[in-house]
Chains A and B, each alone.
Chain A
Amino acid sequence: MGKPRSAARLCAMASAWALLAPGALHAQTAGMVEEKLPPPTGLAPYFTPATADPIAPDADGFLRRWLLLEPVVKPNRTNTGFTPSYVREALAPATYPGKFEAVPREGDSAAAGLRWHALDSSLFDMKLFYLAQGLGKPTYGVIFWAVTVVNAPREMRGVRLAMGSNSASRWWLNGSEVAGLYGDRRMVMDDVLSRPITLRKGRNVLRGAVINGPGLSDFCARFVDEAGKPIRDITIDVK
């Protein structure tokens, strides 16, 4: 169910006022301005620390274990500016706060004192907004980097990475870009599918970044076969 129509309209008008009156933006776009962040609310119920052993994808093939970096502040007062050109520049390997090829470890520090967190999601998607809120970090106008390791029992040809993200994002498998989601996107499973790609036997590193202005932020990822069926005979880890 959506909001009552009148409430939705009031909300829209408030958003419009926020856009028009810079002085009213503070509560809307943390990350754009100096503001006192609310206290951390904790990672429950959406995240738990990654366990020691690798895990399988869930029943639908979603990858629920990721290393997530605390949000990088990147002010954007609207998501409509997330054109391919802008996003390719904002989410480029050169902007990665660390060594792009490396897999960080739980608790590692990156540039600007940001920390990596190895987490399992209780849901099919990774709720980035609630990661930030749970840690007491900026929730709006931010970039989230994410890394996971996919272990394949054999070489898998012709698979596709199926992504959904809110808002725009870019994804690399073993260093090669395989998917880009541009524009003011809401998250929907299987929104963008990569070209047919190959999962190597053994270890594969999947890396991505999500950029968001106002609104909630999350992503979901799975691999599908040539028929669009989820691939489940893989394991996921963060090392």
Chain B
Amino acid sequence: MKIAALPLAALFLLAQPQVASAQLAGEPFIHDPSTITYSDGRWWTFGTRGGGLVSEDGWTWRSGGERPGGGVAPDVIKIGDRYYVAYAVGGGGMNGGHASNVKIMWTKSLDPKSPDFGFHDVGIVASTNGLEPADAIDPAFLLAEGRLWLSYGTYYGYIRMLELDPKTGDKMPGSQPVDVAIDMEATALLHRDGWYYLLGTHGTCCDGPNSSYNIRVGRARSPTGPFVDNMGVPLLKGGGKLVVAGRGRQYGPGHFGLLDLGDGVEKFSMHYESDLDRGGRSVLGILPLLWKDGWPVAGENLPAGTYEIQSERGGGALELAVDFVRIPFDVRRSFFAKPGDSTGPIPNQTLAENRASWPAGAIEVDLGDYMIRAHQQWAIAPAEGSGGAFGAPYYKILIAGTERALAVGPEGSVEAVPAFTGAPEQLWRIDQLTDGTYRIQPKAQADAKHPRALVAIGRSTPALMPFDPASDAGRWTFQRP
């Protein structure tokens, strides 16, 4: 970590957390979170110092993890029935103190209450002597193509890559550290479509809302480089394409960790140096991960607003299946007008004009050509107090200007019921997919192992069906109305 010139004690003299946050629920306070890992029915991440966070749904996080071994900035990877944990002891100093070791341990559970939880020391796999241009901290694992890699290092000199033995977690005999980047820290590794990606954090950490932390990336065909950014600038010469910067009320993202949820949903964890909605404390963050032209980039949870919900299958707009209401208009005005005829604005059709044809009870929902009508415009917002999943809150989806709510209907259909009650059938999980489109799932699931999502099973027919990542039928975009 690159520590700003602040008294260390000041880092922990921060204000009490506030109630609301645009990000995760609970007490997600952490710095340098490890890759979020599933064990014993829950999700775990560990940070600098010994503790960690645990969550059942990826949305509400509580203190609860324990990590034997002490040290700083760990990472976790599961191989077979073992969770290998890499962590650093020593190093990370701003002025000196770069003599450090990366150590490895393993356990068969991350849950301290499990009988499989235990400390099994593998030993030191990397060291720096305090004089050489590298600092053996901030380790990160990657298992790819049957080989196990470990990156480590900080702004102090080089980021290094080392091969480990996936059978033991120990250093692969004969493996020597390879310099792959400079002026970076809190690295992470990805492998996708034949490319190795080295992500790391640029900027200054540990200075609250004045931290300039941001996450960058370069890629190479080999895990030992040469890594270059999108402009061809080598990471060994300071390159790095931006993945995510601070936004809104959350400042200084760093310490990337991939959270691959399958079915084309990838997210990433990080910490924000400072969440101003939580007294400026360092907190866990989770955002969607998108892939554009072969590069990872941060997505976003859907901002609250009014949208057309558009099907990627056929372009249809999710709408109430009600009678179309015409806008009174003499078509001769459209293209038979004379010069000098009125060009004054004409109002859009109002909600009151549109809803005149709506029945009182539940209304079936279908897909139709978008006609800029009220029965096609949805006000979408997080449903306060309803929880969430993997970094995104559960949303309510209402016809704008009404309480009419999108809901699970009979026989796998979807409908709009007259009033929002907060029932699980009316709460929606909206996950951004790697291509930037979204998957929409009801919270209410009859079979949690085979969840249903909103899918255009016909060009004009939506239904709740298993999501197929290879198809556009379950992909949706949110368009300004």
Contact = CB atoms under 8 A, between A and B. Distances in A.
Given A188-B459, A191-B458, A183 B324 contact: yes
B322 interface: yes
B33 interface: no
A192 B314 CA distance: 12
Interface residues of B, number: 23
Contacts of A191: 458-461
A221 to B, nearest CB: 12
A160 B457 contact: yes
Contact of B412 (A83, A162, A196): A196
A97 interface: no
B323 interface: yes
Contacts of A83: 323-324, 357
A223 to B, nearest CB: 13
Contacts of B463: 193
Contact of B457 (A164, A181, A228): A228
A16 interface: yes
B324 A80 contact: yes
Contact of A193 (B322, B326, B336, B461): B461
A16 B459 contact: no
Contact of B323 (A16, A85, A195, A228): A85
Contacts of A193: 457-458, 461, 463
B190 interface: no
Contacts of A20: 331-332
B450 to A, nearest CB: 12
A196 B324 contact: no
A12 to B, nearest CB: 9
Contact of A84 (B321, B331, B410): B321
B71 interface: no
B63 interface: no
A190 interface: yes
Q: Which size class do A's interface residues fall under?
A: 20 to 34
Contacts of A14: none
Interface string A154-196: 0000001010100000000000000001110000101111011
A222 B331 CA distance: 39
Given A20-B331, A20-B332, A84-B323, A183 B458 contact: no
B322 to A, nearest CB: 7
A210 to B, nearest CB: 16
B81 interface: no
Contact of B413 (A86, A162, A195): A195
Contacts of B336: 16
A85 B322 CA distance: 9
B382 interface: no
B341 interface: no
A134 to B, nearest CB: 29
**Among the interface residues B322, B335, B412, B459, which one has the most CB atoms of the partner chain A within 10 A?**
B459
B169 interface: no
B411 interface: yes
B51 to A, nearest CB: 46
Interface of B: 314, 321-324, 326, 331-332, 335-336, 357, 366, 368, 410-413, 457-461, 463
Interface of A: 13, 16, 19-20, 80, 83-86, 160, 162, 164, 181-183, 188, 190-193, 195-196, 228
Given A20-B332, A84-B322, 10 more contacts: A19-B331, A86-B323, A183-B324, A183-B368, A188-B314, A193-B457, A193-B463, A195-B410, A195-B413, A228-B457
30 contacts: A13-B335, A16-B331, A16-B335, A20-B331, A80-B324, A80-B326, A83-B323, A83-B357, A84-B321, A84-B322, A85-B323, A85-B357, A162-B458, A164-B459, A182-B321, A183-B324, A183-B368, A190-B458, A190-B459, A191-B459, A191-B461, A192-B458, A192-B459, A192-B460, A192-B461, A193-B458, A195-B412, A195-B413, A196-B411, A228-B457
